[in-house]
């Protein structure tokens, strides 16, 4: 079989070069392909299918919490982007500008949305008059553009796919509640469906979204001990409403400014999955978002009855709602094993003449290669149970990795020592709340503040940096 591609042989091991290991998987599992525009990628069918499953689940969670989908234009006039001062300062340096339509120069240049707060605000100003028009709980699934200097597939690209929720409420309380609700939705999604434990917390002032009163985030720890911001939820107060002149008539007939939020997760979550669950044989996918949950590989497929039985098995599993593929191509079973390991398919099912004779098949779980001889009778339930087992095992393993790599430190020296001895990870240390200390910690130890976790603890009474009274426990780390 001359044109079989090499698979496993070509992956760099993560211990040797983590960044190379990551891009090897991204390419060899056929998630993306590069294009001639730097930082813009093709998301290939296998990668896009993972995103479709994420979308389907999240969209259901958004709708269950009362949200509706809309679609805003992709272009923002320069004057509109400039209406909220902090917001434009944050985004203007990294937007792509459209200056010509056909052969004509535009009167005003347009940026390709880097995020859509300004468009939603313009729309809200048009459609909101009365308290009866509130709240609006909107979301959209689109792509956005940020002209980054350095790019990496899924983690930081010039164009990426995301959803952006934008809501507007009569009161600050309602808006804050929404901000927290959506952070919890994201955390549940990551933990339940992606099997990825996250830390929920608040960003420090220096790390807030441009224009926000407060930014909440979920942070996850990758295999290499670096932190990845997996989702954010922002509370805007009435700052945007004031900048855009959005007012409503209250029940008491007074003109009031409403309060806003926005929240988003992106295709970056695919990168998070790779770096949370992947191994040196390739991708390891959590079952909920795996395009193929179980692959059937016939052994000695030429023997009478094997393919028939394999097809029967496929139909049984598909009828039970399992995303199943039968690979009856003429590649060797060993080659197929490697291919579907590379693609991270959670369960492989081997089926040969001897299995059939004894009324069994063999289930092999991707993450630990454990084999279970399983009766064909009732096999759909067994596979479902196995998929749940896989999710739980992936979660526990990621959690154990995070715990192993979370260091409680009381001094800067302790931080430096922990990172040197145990490798990168989350550092938990107290902070006085002063930005100068935040900067100094980063400068001296290399870890920046990731968030102020909702789950606080009093590790010490004083700031890890200056020794003044501590205000918060902060989670520090090196970030993607």
**In angstroms, what is the minimal distance from the CB of 223 to its own copies?**
26
Q: What phi and psi, each to the nearest 5 degrees, are found at residue 15?
A: -70, -35
Q: Is the dihedral of CA 68, 271, 26, 158 positive or negative?
A: positive
Q: Would you put residue 152 in left (φ > 0), alpha (ψ -120 to 50) or beta?
A: beta
Token output for 197 = 């434990």
Cβ-based nearer residue to its own copies, 33 or 315: 33
Structure tokens at 66: 């009362």
The residue (of 96 and 318) whose beta carbon lies closer to its own copies is 96
Question: Residue 396 Cβ, how far from its own copies at the closest point, in Å?
Answer: 33
Q: Which is nearer to its own copies, 280 or 331 (CB)?
A: 331
Least distance in angstroms from the C-beta of 147 to its own copies: 4
Minimum distance from residue 49 beta carbon to its own copies (Å):
7
Is the CB of 241 or the CB of 419 nearer to its own copies? 241
Shortest distance in whole angstroms from residue 404 CB to its own copies = 36
Question: What's the angle, vertex CA 263, arms to CA 257 and CA 269, rounded to 5?
Answer: 175
* Coil/strand/helix, residue 437: helix
Residue 474, phi then psi, degrees to nearest 5: -120, 145
Q: Based on CB atoms, which residue is closest to its own copies, 43 or 195?
A: 43
Minimum CB separation of residue 94 from its own copies in Å reads 5
By beta-carbon proximity to its own copies, the closer residue of 105 and 458 is 105
Provide, rounded to whole angstroms, the least separation between the CB of residue 24 and its own copies.
17
Comparing CB distances to its own copies, the nearer of 132 and 302 is: 132
Site of interaction with its own copies (CB under 8 A): 3, 33, 35-37, 40-45, 48-49, 51-52, 68-77, 80, 92-103, 110, 112, 119, 122-123, 126-127, 129-130, 132, 138, 142-143, 145, 147, 158-159, 161
Token readout for 329 is 């191509």
Q: Which residue, 456, 454, 475, is CA-closest to 464?
A: 475
Q: Which helix (H) or strand (E) holds 233?
A: strand 227-237
Q: By the 8 A CB rule, do 201 and 453 touch?
A: yes
Q: Report the C-alpha gap between 374 and 351 in whole angstroms.
A: 11
**DSSP-assigned letters across all residues of 193-235:** IS----EEEE--GGGS-TT-SEEEEEEEE-TTS-EEEEEEEEE
Residues in the chain, total: 480
Q: How far is the CB of 300 from its own copies (least distance, A)?
A: 23
In terms of CB distance, is 147 or 454 closer to its own copies? Answer: 147
């Amino acid at each position: 079989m001359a044109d079989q591609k090499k698979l496993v042989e070509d992956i760099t091991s993560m211990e040797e070069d983590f960044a190379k290991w990551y891009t090897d998987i991204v390419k060899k599992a056929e998630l993306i392909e590069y294009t001639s525009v730097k930082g813009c990628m093709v998301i290939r069918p296998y990668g896009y299918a993972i995103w479709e499953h994420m979308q389907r689940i999240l969209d259901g969670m958004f709708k269950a919490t009362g949200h509706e989908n809309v679609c805003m234009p992709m272009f923002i006039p320069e004057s509109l982007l400039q209406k909220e001062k902090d917001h434009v300062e944050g985004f203007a340096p990294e937007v792509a500008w459209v200056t010509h339509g056909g052969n004509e120069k535009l009167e005003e240049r347009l940026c390709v949305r880097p995020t859509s707060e300004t468009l939603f605000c313009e729309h809200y100003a048009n459609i909101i008059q009365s308290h009866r028009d509130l709240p609006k709980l909107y979301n959209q699934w689109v792509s956005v553009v940020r002209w980054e200097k350095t790019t990496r597939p899924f983690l930081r690209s010039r164009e990426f796919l995301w959803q952006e929720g934008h809501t507007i409420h009569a009161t600050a309380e309602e808006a804050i509640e929404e901000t927290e609700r959506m952070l919890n939705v994201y955390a549940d999604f990551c933990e339940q469906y992606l099997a990825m434990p996250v830390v929920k917390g608040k960003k420090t002032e220096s790390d807030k979204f441009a224009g926000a009163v407060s930014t909440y985030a979920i942070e996850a720890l990758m295999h290499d001990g670096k932190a990845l911001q997996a989702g954010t939820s922002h509370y805007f107060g009435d700052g945007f409403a004031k900048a855009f002149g959005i007012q409503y008539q209250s029940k008491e007939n007074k003109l009031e400014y409403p309060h806003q939020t926005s929240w988003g997760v992106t295709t970056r979550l695919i990168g998070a999955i790779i770096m949370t669950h992947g191994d040196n044989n390739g991708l390891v996918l959590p079952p909920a978002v795996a395009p193929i949950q179980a692959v059937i590989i016939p052994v000695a497929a030429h023997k009478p009855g094997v393919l028939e039985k394999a097809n029967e098995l496929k139909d049984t599993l598909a009828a039970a709602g399992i995303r199943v593929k039968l690979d009856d191509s003429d590649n060797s079973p060993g080659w197929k094993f490697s291919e579907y390991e590379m693609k991270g398919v959670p369960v492989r099912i081997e089926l040969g003449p001897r299995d059939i004779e004894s009324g069994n098949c063999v289930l092999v779980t991707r993450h630990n290669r454990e084999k279970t001889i399983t009766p064909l009778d009732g096999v759909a339930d067994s596979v479902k149970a196995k998929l749940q087992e896989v999710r739980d095992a992936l979660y526990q393993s990621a959690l154990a990795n995070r715990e192993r790599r979370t260091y409680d430190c009381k001094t800067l020296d302790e931080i430096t020592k922990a990172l040197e001895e145990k490798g990168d990870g989350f550092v938990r240390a107290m902070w006085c709340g002063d930005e100068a200390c935040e900067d100094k910690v980063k400068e001296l130890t290399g870890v920046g503040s990731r968030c102020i976790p909702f789950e606080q603890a009093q590790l010490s009474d004083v700031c890890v940096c200056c020794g003044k009274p501590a205000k918060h426990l902060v989670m520090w780390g090196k970030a993607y």
